[in-house]
Structure 1
């Protein structure tokens, strides 16, 4: 069933409006996006939700407050909550590096040992206590690596919190459980949602398998699940850090999603290099440097890139990787398993399942697929398996599995709508450029890996002849507006203003990310309805200009 006609929601409302765990929030005007960048209080007070790595869900804040209240933390002390000891340890290490003179403490809350096995598995959580001076660094870690607890997981922990005891080496924090321990929980899942997680791995393995008859099918063993897409990217980045310092360099080729270079760059490589243009010249220069003795461990890229929808030359990159012995890790979130057949040219595929794989904008998730025929298969699989910990909260996994059941049909519908909108926009006199895989110069690179029945995806970006037209168009556009992409409903945002608010000049000069670019994730509504809304906004912008 297709969503109703796209519509603009009040500032701060969830996208979609009735979803408690929405991963997008309405920012319906250019000024509201700028106010988010400045973190203006009037806007923050209106937010019912937000993209979960950008801000914390209300359930997470409630759990944080409950922890601070129970520990009687002094004023000025905050806490951040993680589902695993590993994430807690990495956050603490990050904070100790950034603020070596500040006191950082950690605690763990656990249920009574007689509790139900699922309670014992999912109720424990870890908290890091930090002073205000460390707050921005902690938020940076939360945003870039995605390791924080999810909203549904926090809700569950809140329910169990009164029955949990504190596990801490610091005796000053010792507090008993607040209530008499209940023995059996009332979970909505069985065996950590193992069946749903297995179903997701099977589905991803089937979809990621190459169409080439000589290519080995992907199995569940090659698929790893993560609570968020950035968790998947971060896990790959950490897993591939080599012991050999001479080759400890990660290259990010092409302009990627804003957090990816930070995530890779902060994953303990000796060197991290951004080749922002994603051009033939940069590949030529990289090849020449490797021919002269340069050694790299891994090349990361997106296919296609966000927000310019440019496609790298994967067959050439693959040939270079084999010749100079490095690995290739590609984020295919915008391309999708349905549209592109990239596994023969890469070692690893990383996907944000939060986007169109889910579509409903109400749950997060990420996956990693290892090429079963990669010459580095054993090394990669061993490294990922050693680091992997199942922190994918069962309710999140169950909702993801349910949402993804019609993934292929939804991708096809969004492909057709986006192509129609992109082609329509190219003919309008107000529009200077449309970024879409079929319309940019790198189309041949996309076409050489496009599946037989694959399309060009659901995302496009628009650049207008005049900056004021972009503002007026965005303000008049009557569709959902806010962060994220791949939603079943159309969703727009001024990309640079959102993703690079404090570095717009740099993003424009370094990556060609125009300050007044408007990105639209095209949904499943009727094609004519979407185009009519876009046309109405263009008309309104024209009238305003005159």
Structure 2
């Protein structure tokens, strides 16, 4: 079963990206409507006759113009002595003989070498680099940076050392070629879609997903002529029929999904995507790379709301994307234009959180699986949504993928008339009777969280929409923290007495 959002013919995706906010060569963004300040045929115009009008500034670069960069090659300890040479001494003299205002601006910072450089390299924790701008010691370094041969940063919107450290840690966890950290999970998803799907493109997505992702796909993408075909997460036959008859640019699904914990057959999806030249993107926020690595199964990209398990302490907002280097580069280029930048301190907290990811996930996996098993036969529960429960629609798919676990989130439904006030009130009583979890909309942190989904995420949605999505009045989403498994089960058991 499938339905379509938006309309428009398919076009081939362009691989041309943006370089630090500038359009690719030969691409005109705004047409010039003003006349040149000098008339055609002027002296300046005559000098330009015969010049290659497609040439970039690179035409002026010579080996001689780059020689000065050898004296100030940044923080590499092999050349630190050189970098503290004559240029550093002259700058130090300017500071020492300057006024108080000059000293206040540059003292202790302008000369980067010496003890500070060594200490930064020796620090066990990655330093938080709170700088919006990164400078160059001479024009040669700036030229080499633009040519890609000087490894540094230029402006905070295009990269930061602390952020890059977090990206490299995620690359290691996902076994990915590259990674990009952004301001939120939604930013990661929306920037990815805008960067990789062309105008009038076509994407295939699954029915159960985070509400705001669905909202973006249904309301904003159609304005660019991008249409979406929505299929059941398990319906590979429909997926192949769509690819065979209509084609697509990109497949995007969570696995497990939110809030019904549906599991996508990632190897099956990847095989079809490769066969029909479609980009495959899997959101594994609920699973984490500890449990499941779609990149190693052949997926092109994975996405996370890093706010959740990756950071893990309910104190960070960030998003993450990892996978094929060429696709990440395309997204990174647009990310630099849209500006969804993560704060360096948030990146530091993300680094700290990922250090304990496996330890936390092992506990959360265990608690969720045991809680699901306890609820499966409870007389006041009509249904449990967790991949290890035999009556879950994707139980066999989950077993086949042999993932280490499915995370700490499970959903279940309080027994009763599904859309009646009596069930709504019973779910209220259950949530309010719990002692350990906080009532809140997120997941993945050390503290357990619980929500009555029709209130927290669908309060303003009409009955028709809630029925279509299966969000009943008794639908509960429980995100297990790292508290004692037995304590959580005991708390849920006593709260159910209030139903």
Bin of the TM-score, shorter chain as denominator length: 0.5 to 0.7
Whether the aligned pair in 1 keeps the contact of 2:129 and 2:162 (CA below 8 Å) is: no
Alignment match, 1:236: 192
Aligned to 2:498, the other structure's residue is in SS state: helix
Whether the aligned pair in 2 keeps the contact of 1:341 and 1:450 (CA below 8 Å) is: no
Q: Structure 1 residues 506, 330: CA separation in 2 closer, same or farther (over 3 Å shift)?
A: farther
- Aligned-residue offset at 1:301: 0.3
2:210 aligned with 1:257, yes or no? yes
Aligned to 2:128, the other structure's residue is in SS state: coil
**2:316 pairs with one of 350, 355, 363:** 363
Whether the aligned pair in 1 keeps the contact of 2:408 and 2:480 (CA below 8 Å) is: yes
Q: Structure 1 residues 523, 504: CA separation in 2 closer, same or farther (over 3 Å shift)?
A: farther
Q: Structure 1 residues 184, 227: CA separation in 2 closer, same or farther (over 3 Å shift)?
A: farther
Alignment match, 1:426: 376
In structure 2, how many angstroms separate the alpha carbons of the residues matched to 1:363 and 1:249? 33
Whether the aligned pair in 2 keeps the contact of 1:237 and 1:264 (CA below 8 Å) is: no
**C-alpha deviations, 1:301-326, integer Å up to 9, x for none?**
00100000011122222222122221
**How many correspondences in the alignment?**
341
Whether the aligned pair in 1 keeps the contact of 2:322 and 2:328 (CA below 8 Å) is: no
Alignment match, 1:200: 166
Aligned to 2:356, the other structure's residue is in SS state: helix
In structure 2, how many angstroms separate the alpha carbons of the residues matched to 1:275 and 1:186? 58
In structure 2, how many angstroms separate the alpha carbons of the residues matched to 1:276 and 1:465? 28
Alignment match, 1:519: 477
Whether the aligned pair in 1 keeps the contact of 2:231 and 2:239 (CA below 8 Å) is: no
5 Å matches for 1:384-403? 384-389=331-336, 391-403=341-353
2:128 aligned with 1:189, yes or no? yes
**C-alpha deviations, 1:495-546, integer Å up to 9, x for none?**
13221222252343322222320100001001111111101101122xxxxx
What is the root-mean-square deviation in Å for CA atoms of aligned residues? 2.8
Q: Structure 1 residues 424, 473: CA separation in 2 closer, same or farther (over 3 Å shift)?
A: same
Structure 1: state its 5+ residue gaps: 1-83, 87-181, 210-217, 372-376, 542-546
**C-alpha deviations, 1:410-432, integer Å up to 9, x for none?**
01111111111111111211001
Alignment match, 2:427: 470
**C-alpha deviations, 1:196-250, integer Å up to 9, x for none?**
32332222112112xxxxxxxx24xx1111011111101110111225x4xx112
Alignment match, 2:59: none
Alignment match, 1:538: 496
Whether the aligned pair in 1 keeps the contact of 2:427 and 2:473 (CA below 8 Å) is: no
Structure index of larger Rg: 2
2:315 aligned with 1:315, yes or no? no
In structure 1, how many angstroms separate the alpha carbons of the residues matched to 2:210 and 2:471? 11
Alignment match, 2:450: 492
5 Å matches for 1:54-133? none
2:180 aligned with 1:224, yes or no? yes
**C-alpha deviations, 1:375-401, integer Å up to 9, x for none?**
xx63x2442232133722111112222
Aligned to 2:493, the other structure's residue is in SS state: helix
TM-score in terms of structure 2 length: 0.63
In structure 2, how many angstroms separate the alpha carbons of the residues matched to 1:421 and 1:387? 42
**1:383 pairs with one of 309, 330, 346:** 330
Q: Structure 1 residues 540, 515: CA separation in 2 closer, same or farther (over 3 Å shift)?
A: closer
- Aligned-residue offset at 1:333: 0.1
Alignment match, 1:45: none
Alignment match, 1:482: 440
Aligned to 1:423, the other structure's residue is in SS state: helix
TM-score in terms of structure 1 length: 0.58
Q: Structure 1 residues 284, 276: CA separation in 2 closer, same or farther (over 3 Å shift)?
A: closer
Whether the aligned pair in 1 keeps the contact of 2:166 and 2:348 (CA below 8 Å) is: no
